[in-house]
Amino acid sequence: MRVSMIGAGYVGLVSSACFADFGHHVTCIDKDARRIAALNNGELPIYEPGLADMVAADLRQGRLEFTADAARVGEADVVFLAVGTPSRRGDGHADLSHIFAAVREIAPLLSATAIVVTKSTVPVGTGDEIARMLREERPDAEIAVASNPEFMREGAAVYDFKHPDRILIGSDDLRARTILAEIYRPLYLNAAPMLYVSRRTAELIKYAANAFLAAKISLINEIADLCECVGADVQDVARGIGLDNRIGGKFLHPGPGFGGSCLPKDALALIKTAHEHGTRLRIVETIAAVNEERKRAMARKVVAALDGSVRGKTVAVLGLAFKPNTDDTRDSPAIPLIKELQDLGADVRAYDPAGMEQAKSQLPEVTYCGGAYAAAEGAEALVIATEWEPFRALDLARLKSVMARPVIVDLRNIYRVEEMCRAGFRYVAVGRAGVA
Ligand code: UDX
């Protein structure tokens, strides 16, 4: 099968490499000629475990090509749209300008029987609009438009792409369904369930799934706050409820609030979709508001751990990316946390194994360090904002020896309270009794 992928961003790159790995011939097209040149040199614009090796192998074997030449879509049986749909400034609506610009550009170039598939997360009805645009530009062609949302997580994207819980095919067109089933056949043989629904339904499933995940996180975060008030342990509560099959144990890790490029923006876009259709999603509205407040509120934990003030004090922050194994700092809880600490007069030192470059433009006043212990040097408190593996087994004696005061605020609950107690730290966690 000949596949074109429009967009060499996160979703586009991972999907291109995985489709090529399945044995399809993939042409990944992006307007950014510098990005394309770098990719052809084997340099990836994102950090994603396993991706660089896969791209290199696919390039070597000639199954994957990167080009800035949009005309190459003409060779494709299936064209995936994987361009960004960020939040539109001001109103939270998904910005579809990149999607529609891509459609306008490829419309005259597509083969007359191409299948155009949205892989980007797009609001309900976007597929209808794309179909209308294509009909207008190519009235004689038989181009089908389908929705095939992607559920991969950053940091585990390659694994998720190859081991999906389900493959969602949104189209009523039999030809589109058959061709998409053929593209995913290698996964079907691995027994990944294939779900055929209407295009609008597929578009909504993606948003509903992310809203549900956001709800789980927000709920456990709120329960964590209550645990702190009543003296209960949120880790045990999460396990206690998660063992109920109707609830499930995943996405019940309390923390500083959800971040990243999807959950926050998709919640806002879903709220917007509801408004546009004259209705409201009050639960989702609350989740979005509560999560935003939470991110800045995390600074209060640090203030409390430092006896009521951070003014003039040095605080070390470990983790800037919104989660481990990614360099992505978009909507990362670490960013508002650090801004708030700085507003309150703290001097912030930070380290992240991959996210420091991205963070620099958002946080110019931070002292960026070469490692966890370097960041902790002279700090009166150390905040764990992202649960990277290397932060899980820090040498506590060494840490204590370099810090000005042994205070740890663990926003990811990655340490045991007894361990911290033995090591002589004041330890503040989320939803658990700490060490005073
Ligand atoms: C998410 C969805 O999981 C994925 O299906 C969709 O395709 C894209 O959006 P991603 O943004 O990569 O993926 O990250 P995810 O693992 O979902 O985490 C999102 C945020 O929630 C992170 O900030 C993470 O730290 C936080 N989180 C996640 C929690 O605080 N607790 C949890 O239990 C899980």
Ligand 1 atom at minimal distance to the Cα of residue 250? 33
Rg (C-alpha) for the chain, rounded Å, is: 23
With 80 as the cut, is the pLDDT of residue 192 above it? yes
Flag whether the pTM goes above 0.85: yes
Nearest CA to ligand 1 atom 16: 153
Chain mean pLDDT for the chain: 96
> How far, in whole angstroms, is CA 198 from its chain's centroid?
26
Domain spans in the chain, listed from the N-terminal domain onward: 2-197, 207-288
Find residue 87's DSSP bridge partners.
94
Half-sphere exposure (Cβ direction) of 346: Cα atoms closer than 13 Å: 30
Residues 328, 321 contacting (CB under 8 angstroms): yes
Is 262 a catalytic site residue?
A: yes
Rounded Cα gap, residues 373 and 388, in angstroms: 14
Ligand 1 center from residue 263 Cα (angstroms): 7
Residue 436: the pLDDT is 75
Write out pLDDT tens, residues 267-292.
Answer: 999 999 999 999 999 999 999 999 99
In the CATH hierarchy, which fold is given to the domain comprising 2-197? Rossmann fold (3.40.50)
Q: Whose CA is nearest to atom 5 of ligand 1?
A: 151
Q: How far apart are CA 235 and CA 433, in angstroms?
A: 11
**pLDDT exceeds cutoff 90 at 92:** no
Neighbours of 282 (CB within 10 A): 10
Tens digits of residue pLDDT in 308-320? 999 999 999 999 9
Nearest CA to ligand 1 atom 31: 253
Q: How would CATH label the architecture of 207-288?
A: Orthogonal Bundle (1.10)
Checking if the pLDDT of 190 tops 80, the result is no
The whole-angstrom separation of Cα 334 and Cα 336 is: 6
Question: For ligand 1, atom 2, which residue shows the shortest CA distance?
Answer: 153
Amino acid present at 244: D
Ligand 1 pocket mutation, candidates 153, 220, 430, criterion most atoms within 8 A of CB = 153
- Residues 386, 356: contact at Cβ < 8 Å? no
Which of 281, 156, 152, 127 is CA-nearest to residue 211? 281
> Which residues, judged by CB distance below 6 Å to any ligand atom, belong to the binding site of ligand 1?
150-154, 210, 213, 217, 251-253, 255, 258-260, 262-263, 322-323
